[in-house]
């Protein structure tokens, strides 16, 4: 017959160890679970910090140091790249603006082209000097309502330099000027005395243009002295009045709008 092994009776110490062993195992499990939680929290903190840094770079356009490295946003990193130069746009010449009509006469000079513009009685007058020069002008009005534009002018085609202004091109040496322009409203008034006026044409449908030239013939007709200090200057005066007449009697040099 088999004999049972002899068993020793449990002592008080054995009972205490048997009870404490499961408790120690449970504490080890608890400690291991707490470690995972701490690790998870740390990783979450790093993730949040990383997202915050990326957002900062994206919205603020700056750089940030993370784990010993400097991270720079794409905008900041590309500042040194060459920028495309803007293309040159074709330049347009500004339109020449004449003074607004003030009820009398306005004057504008374009010295580059030796061209002068008058705005008189709402009609633009273009005076192309052809090498000549307008030295002065005068607006006058009589009691009958007639309004006139008188012009002092000289040509450089004869007599040498344009810097030498002859006496007939000044108000002091020639009180009558070289030419006079009158613009009448054809529906209201037509000049009765046409002996000294040349009809040029009609502008704006009712503005009739007349021109008077104060040349040698006109002065001899009224027994007036031809202006000029000598015979050469008097011939120069004839050249100027002939040229001015050819300009002012051409209706294409008058317009109802800006040139």
Q: Which of 33, 7, 244 is nearest to 137 (CA)?
A: 244
Of 27-31, 80-84, 112-116, 134-138, minimum mean pLDDT range = 27-31
pTM for this one?
0.60
Which tokens hold the place of 209?
A: 């243009």
Instruction: Name the burial class of residue 164, with classes exposed (0-12), middle (13-18) and buried (19+) by CB atoms within 10 angstroms of its CB.
Output: exposed
CA 45, CA 89: separation in Å to the nearest integer?
55
CA 135, CA 165: separation in Å to the nearest integer?
9
- In this predicted model, which residue has the larger pLDDT, 51 or 1? 51
Which tokens hold the place of 174?
A: 């020639």
Residues 125, 181: contact at Cβ < 8 Å? yes
pLDDT of the residue at 19: 52
Element (H, E) at 233: helix 231-248
């Amino acid at each position: 017959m088999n004999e049972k092994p002899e068993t020793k009776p449990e002592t008080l110490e054995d009972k205490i160890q048997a009870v404490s062993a499961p408790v120690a195992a449970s504490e080890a499990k608890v400690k291991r679970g707490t470690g995972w939680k701490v690790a998870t929290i740390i990783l979450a903190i790093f993730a949040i910090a990383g997202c915050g840094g990326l957002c900062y770079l994206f919205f603020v356009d700056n750089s940030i140091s993370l784990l010993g490295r400097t991270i720079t946003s794409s905008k900041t990193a590309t500042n040194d790249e060459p920028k495309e130069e803007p293309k040159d746009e074709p330049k347009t010449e500004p339109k020449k603006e004449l003074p607004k009509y003030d009820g009398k006469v306005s004057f504008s000079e374009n010295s580059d082209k030796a061209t002068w513009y008058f705005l008189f009685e709402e009609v633009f007058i273009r005076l192309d000097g052809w090498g000549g020069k307008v030295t002065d002008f005068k607006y006058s009005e009589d009691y009958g309502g007639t309004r006139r534009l008188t012009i002092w002018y000289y040509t450089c085609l004869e007599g040498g330099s344009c810097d030498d202004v002859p006496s007939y091109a000044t108000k002091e040496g020639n009180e009558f000027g070289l030419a006079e322009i009158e613009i009448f409203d054809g529906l209201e008034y037509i000049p009765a005395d046409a002996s000294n006026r040349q009809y040029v044409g009609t502008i704006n449908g009712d503005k009739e243009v007349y021109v008077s030239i104060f040349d040698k013939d006109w002065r001899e007709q009224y027994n007036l002295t031809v202006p000029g200090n000598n015979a050469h200057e008097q011939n120069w005066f004839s050249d100027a009045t002939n040229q001015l007449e050819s300009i002012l009697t051409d209706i294409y040099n008058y317009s109802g709008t800006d040139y």
